[in-house]
Amino acid sequence: MAELIDGKQLAKTVNAQTKQAVTELKTRGVNPKLIVILVGEDKASQIYVRNKQRKAVQLGIISETTRLPEDVSQAELLKLIDQYNHDDTVNGVMVQSPLPRQIDEAAVTRAILPTKDVDGFNPENVGQLYSNSNLNFPVSCTPKGIMSMLKAYQVNLAGANAVIVGRSNIVGRPMAALLLNASATVTVVHSQTKDMKEYTRNADILIVATGIAHLIKGEDIKPGATVIDVGMNRDENGKLTGDVDFDSAEPVAGKITPVPGGVGPMTIATLMQQTVELTKWSE
Ligand code: NAP
């Protein structure tokens, strides 16, 4: 049976470090502040935003959620972002997705100041990541959290065959860049890939982020591989389930993340960690 990569436990450790860092900053009169902008009434987004706010408060980070109506114009949203960009007390700004149709998501990511871009989506930060810059810059929190998990569980990256299923801007692409920067040999597969499972079966590290429940089965995994399941899908009973069929994958994999309790808690812990990093970098 595979060793379980316990994201929940690891998130506790990261959160404790973040709390400690916040305490130290406060002794110097600095209090990290995170702004989350929520547009519209999407139920899942409301839950995500509430969880982020709760975690921030637990760790001593000042967190404000700004709610905007579903029909807010792009100009109004950009104006608000600009206000936070110019507010010296604000260290991190993020806009919860999905956004309503009248808003151009790319314009929003461009508008957030790179030094306050806690989600790491601004093209300037994406460019730093792709050029393997040695400067300090924020990175998309889910793949950054996965890198922390791989490190904590001593997964060898240099020279490893890493296969990423999914090429989104939030997960797949930044994950590929992080792994390449860590000297893995990286392949990204997606919905147009021919014989996708030919690739997954050769992966020493397999990262799956598709949003398709149980797309990857035990037979698609190389024995002993490290399997990271990013998927968060609801089954017919409302139960959270991953993109990997855990029951058939666990006997084959060497290490594996559960869903829930894997990547999810580490994403939020990384968001808090990165809020503090942005605060320190701006000092
Ligand atoms: P996304 O933007 O919808 O991207 C999905 C990717 O999967 C696309 O690149 C798509 O390929 C690819 N894909 C779809 N069907 C495929 C197939 N049959 N074979 C191979 N590739 C396929 O999704 P996302 O934002 O990356 O999220 C993916 C999943 O992770 C979702 O369940 C989401 O809820 C979850 N997630 C979890 C966290 C967390 O913290 N745990 C964070 C972010 C996302 P094309 O590009 O060709 O369409």
- Pocket of ligand 1 contains residue 263 by CB under 6 Å: yes
Band of the pLDDT at 146, cuts 50, 70, 90? very high
Instruction: Classify domain 141-263 at the CATH superfamily level.
Output: NAD(P)-binding Rossmann-like Domain (3.40.50.720)
Q: Which residues pair with 189 in a beta bridge?
A: 165
Check if 220 is active-site.
Answer: no
Reported as a single tens digit per residue, the pLDDT across 214-248 is 999 999 999 999 999 999 999 999 999 999 999 99
CATH 3.40.50.720 positions along the chain are 141-263
Closest to 14 measured CA to CA, from 256, 237, 266, 195: 266
Cα–ligand 1 centroid distance for 185 (angstroms): 21
Fold annotation for 30-115? Rossmann fold (3.40.50)
Q: Residue 83, Cα to own-chain centre: how many angstroms?
A: 25
Reported as a single tens digit per residue, the pLDDT across 18-74 is 999 999 999 999 999 999 999 999 999 999 999 999 999 999 999 999 999 999 999
pLDDT of residue 276: 98
pLDDT of residue 199: 98
Reported as a single tens digit per residue, the pLDDT across 178-205 is 999 999 999 999 999 999 999 999 999 9
Across 158-187, average pLDDT: 98
Of the candidates 52, 55, 144, 222, the residue annotated as catalytic is: 52
- Pocket of ligand 1 contains residue 7 by CB under 6 Å: no
Band of the pLDDT at 133, cuts 50, 70, 90? very high
Secondary element (H or E) of residue 266: helix 263-281
pLDDT of residue 268: 97
pLDDT of residue 186: 99
Please, what is the average pLDDT of the chain? 98
Cα–ligand 1 centroid distance for 167 (angstroms): 7
Pairs from 187-193 (Cβ < 8 Å, separation ≥ 24): 187/161, 187/162, 187/163, 188/163, 188/164, 189/163, 189/164, 189/165, 190/165, 190/166
b/e per residue 173-197 (b: at least 16 CB within 10 A): bbbbbbbbbbebebbbbeeeeeebb
Check if 71 is active-site.
Answer: no
